[in-house]
Amino acid sequence: MNSDPIILVIDQGTTSTRAVLMDCSANIIALSSAPIQQIYPKTGWVEHNAEQIWDSVKSTILTLKKDHPNHYSRIASIGITNQRETTVVWDKSNGKPLHNAIVWQDTRTSDFCKENMHLDDKIRKKTGLLLNPYFSATKIRWILETYDPQRSLCNNNKIIAGTIDTYLIWKLSGTKSFYTDHTNGSRTLLMNIHIGDWDNELLSDFNIPKNILPEIKPSVFNFGSTSGIDFLPEGIPIMGVAGDQQASLVGHRCHSPGQAKCTFGTGAFLLSHTGDSPISSDTGLLTTLAATTGHKLQYCLEGSVFIAGAAVQWLRDGLGIFKTASESETFSLESDQSSDIVFIPALSGLGCPYWNSDFQGSILGLTRKTTKKEITRASLEGVTHQVADLLEAIAVNFSNPIKILAIDGGMTENKFFNQLLANTTGVYIQTSANAEMTSIGAGILAGIGSGLMKLDDFNTPNDPKGRMYKPDVKSEIMLKKRNRWKKAIKSLEEFYKLT
């Protein structure tokens, strides 16, 4: 009977939780998944029930135990990857959240951000980010202002706060471990990316006491061990932690400057590794931490598209245009390719490089000939145009041009979309043979931390088992489409200024 060690990865995402069993060659052996309920109390508010998230972790692991008992019995290390900016504040005594987890897409703190733009320059210099509802600090502040306005619970050590990784580490360790890693810490607006630790001045600006926050550690670190839980044995070490997008960067084996990937899930997230020196962007990109295997900080430039796969989901569930997401490919292929519809999928505002939370989704150029097929294709084009915007922004800030973009995520199962992405961006698109690059990256970090793997074994960036898509349309045709997209964005910017 095989006795080789197995790595368990907990991949807690925006729409689902996955539990993955991976061998020490980064091959996925088994996977279990459970959906996460999306809660929308008000327009612009997006929440998750943190206790349901914990239940989903338990249920997916128990499914693996039931269906793969031999592999489950050989779990030697745990890796965690998570939706990053989503925030929980909970009671230390019983683990009860004060409020639902506030999800990264949530825009309830828009007014606070607008009223405090005088902090933006300082925030950019210290964190590489910008003052926006997307990030965790404004969410923590909102919960504290709502439930602990005098900060008495904070000052009396009654409550603690963190992103989802911290919450899961705390629960898995039987409340003994209270940590986050560099990648998640760098998404809070509270961590100084030049030192890799909380910034006292920013904590004061947001009125967030430092004692409620976890210690920040490298992505490869002993974050504690399982203790007192009924679905995993005692003493399994948690050895790797990274936010989902940085974990995916590891999964794609992008460890060197100029290597880049884009993950297409609910949103689309493009990260380009820049090495051990931060590069400041003047085109709306974020400077953030890549996964760290030691105390030497690693950096990347990031562009975030808030709505990618969620646009297809909206067409399916909100408008009923098709019954399954896979039909978006068929509809696009059957659409009138000469249609000039522009679909700006700003269903949760626009992210990088625009950073406008007031934007709403818009479709321009409708005619009586327009059908649901043209609208479907335009929604995919809207996603690819936003990725092209990100690549153009990176080209301004980074001397190493991106020639090959590695991609993963559910949308990449759509071959029409992959080719459209190559045509729109003008770069080669490399798909992965495995869609679970986020889980693989977290598993590699855990494997390195537990001595089961070496980073040098995972330094070839391109997946030979994937497929390469190269641009196949005339540049003048795509230039016309890009100009039409940019004009549409500008016209909407003017519209929102007037309203």
| pLDDT tens-digit readout, 286-319 | 999 999 998 899 999 999 888 899 899 999 999 9
- The pLDDT tens digits for 317-334 are 999 999 999 889 999 999
CA angle 349, 342, 360 (to 5 degrees): 20
Neighbours of 423 (CB within 10 A): 22
Q: List the CATH code of the domain at 253-431+467-499.
A: 3.30.420.40
| pLDDT > 90 fraction of the chain, expressed in percent and rounded | 71
Nearest to 97 by CA among 67, 63, 132, 55: 55
**Per residue in 146-184, pLDDT tens?**
999 999 999 999 999 999 999 999 999 999 999 999 999
pTM of the model as a whole: 0.87
Residue 6 pLDDT level (bands cut at 50, 70, 90): very high
Evaluate whether 6-244 and 253-431+467-499 have a shared fold: yes
462 pLDDT tier (thresholds 50, 70, 90): low
**What is the phi/psi pair of residue 98, to 5°?**
-70, -30
| Domain locations along the chain | 6-244, 253-431+467-499
CATH topology of domain 6-244: Nucleotidyltransferase; domain 5 (3.30.420)
Please calculate the CA angle 100-104-107 and round it to the nearest 5 degrees: 85
Answer whether residue 498 shows pLDDT above 70. Answer: no
Residue identified by tokens 């790797």 is 240
CA distance 412 to 430: 10
355's CB contacts (< 8 A; 6+ apart) are 130, 132, 284
Rounded average pLDDT over 116-143: 95
Q: For residue 474, what are the contacts with CB-CB under 8 A and spacing of at least 6?
A: none
Q: Which H or E run contains 303?
A: strand 299-305
